[in-house]
């Protein structure tokens, strides 16, 4: 890996930036929801304090392969998201390879798979129910998510992320971006798609048996998911060119704007049932994704 790749992995938009940004985005989510509910909300550093507190807590003793797996899933999620962040084309250049868009999608999907496996590993009925719900919803929203990514790739005639970055005159590009934005609430388990972690029904779902440092790692992974998913949309809509520091400022501003938008939608909506969530993605969002794909294919062959 060259120097530029190391900077992207460890500095920006990598871990040195993404970890505090993830806590900041989580705070922004909680603060926006609190304001809409006419509450004060948490202080800015509360997600960081919660993470440190969890690291210092003792966890129930477990033995054997189950204990190792329960620690493996959140660690694997954090590592995959770190890799996804390193691939984001915040500063488009000649770096990258022809299939890095496919690798990015795989890395973004791995935390959801680990979340599902965590529920089945926990041995809790609530964890297993949450894992089943997460698995079913993942199948539903991934259809739209993958179609949206492929639509943008067809528009630009490549899966290379550096070439996908930036706005496009093709309407398929913007429909694809909107499709990705529709999938983010389900991937982050926000209302109205929070069925896998419905506290009133199944406590914390797949994370019911988690505590201490392992739960802290899941919170860290959740923050990194915020940064990676909102950052993906930001790179697809921000203009290419100009000083690097303007790119960085715009990247953070657009990403945090998405946080506030999605948090407002979450606060303004009630939780869907699992069946209604599936119907939303397979009936309405999938139609949008198919239209986007059709538009991209038509514009490509027309040119």
**Residues 6+ positions from 218 with CB-CB distance below 8 Å:** 74, 77, 118, 207, 210
- Choice among 63-67, 78-82, 137-141 with the minimum mean pLDDT: 63-67
Q: Provide the pLDDT for residue 291.
A: 75
Residue range(s) defining the domain that contains residue 93: 3-298
Considering only residues 211 and 185, tell me which one the structure prediction assigns the higher pLDDT: 185
Tell me whether residue 270 is exposed, middle or buried, using C-beta atoms within 10 angstroms of its C-beta: 0 to 12, 13 to 18, 19 or more: exposed
What is the mean pLDDT of the segment spanning 72-79? 95
Q: What is the pLDDT of residue 299?
A: 67
137 inside domain: yes
Distance CA 215, CA 281 (A): 29
Give DSSP secondary structure letters for 122-169: S--HHHHHHHHHHHHHHHHHHHHHHHHHHHHHHHHT---HHHH-S--S
**Is 217 among the domain residues?**
yes
The string of pLDDT tens digits covering residues 90-142 is 876 655 555 688 899 999 999 999 999 999 998 888 889 889 999 999 988 98
Residue-wise pLDDT tens digits, 246-270? 888 999 999 999 999 999 999 999 8
Tell me, yes or no, whether 252 lies in a domain. yes
For tokens 């119907």, the residue is 279
Token pair of 282, please?
């397979």
Can you give the pLDDT at residue 98? 59
Q: Is residue 266 part of a domain?
A: yes
What's the pLDDT score for residue 222? 95
Residue 159 counted as domain residue: yes
Contact in structure between 191 and 51 (CB atoms under 8 Å): no
Structural domain includes residue 129: yes
Letter string b/e over residues 50-71, b meaning 16 or more CB atoms within 10 A of that residue's CB: bbeebeeeebeeeeeeeeebbb
| Residue 303: inside a domain | no
Percent of the chain with pLDDT over 70: 91
User: Domain total for the chain?
Assistant: 1
CB 258 within 8 A of CB 25: no
pLDDT confidence bin for 200, thresholds 50/70/90: low
């Amino acid at each position: 890996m060259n120097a530029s790749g190391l900077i992207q992995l460890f500095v920006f938009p990598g871990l040195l930036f993404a970890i505090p940004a993830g806590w900041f985005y989580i705070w922004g989510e909680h603060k926006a929801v609190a304001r809409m509910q006419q509450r004060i909300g948490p202080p800015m550093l509360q997600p960081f304090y919660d993470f440190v507190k969890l690291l210092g807590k003792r966890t129930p003793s477990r033995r054997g392969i189950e204990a190792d797996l329960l620690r493996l899933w959140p660690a694997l999620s954090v590592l995959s998201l770190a890799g996804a962040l390193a691939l984001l084309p915040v500063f488009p250049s000649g770096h990258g390879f022809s299939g890095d868009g496919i690798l990015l999608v795989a890395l973004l999907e791995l935390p959801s798979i680990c979340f599902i496996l965590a529920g089945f590993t926990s041995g809790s009925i609530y964890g297993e129910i949450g894992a089943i719900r997460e698995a079913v919803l993942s199948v539903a929203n991934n259809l739209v998510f993958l179609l949206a990514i492929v639509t943008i790739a067809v528009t630009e005639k490549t899966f290379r992320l550096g070439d996908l970055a930036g706005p496009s005159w093709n309407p398929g590009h913007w429909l694809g971006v909107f499709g990705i934005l529709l999938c983010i609430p389900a991937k982050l388990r926000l209302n109205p798609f929070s069925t896998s972690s419905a506290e009133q029904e199944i406590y914390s779902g797949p994370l019911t048996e988690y505590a201490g440092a392992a739960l802290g790692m899941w919170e860290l992974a959740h923050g990194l998911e915020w940064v990676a998913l909102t950052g993906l949309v930001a790179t697809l809509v921000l203009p290419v060119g100009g000083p690097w520091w303007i790119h960085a400022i715009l990247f953070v501003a657009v990403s945090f704007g998405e946080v506030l938008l999605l948090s407002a939608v979450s606060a303004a909506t009630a939780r869907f049932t699992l069946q209604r969530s599936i119907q939303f993605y397979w009936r309405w969002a999938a139609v949008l994704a198919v239209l986007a794909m059709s538009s991209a294919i038509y514009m490509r062959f027309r040119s």
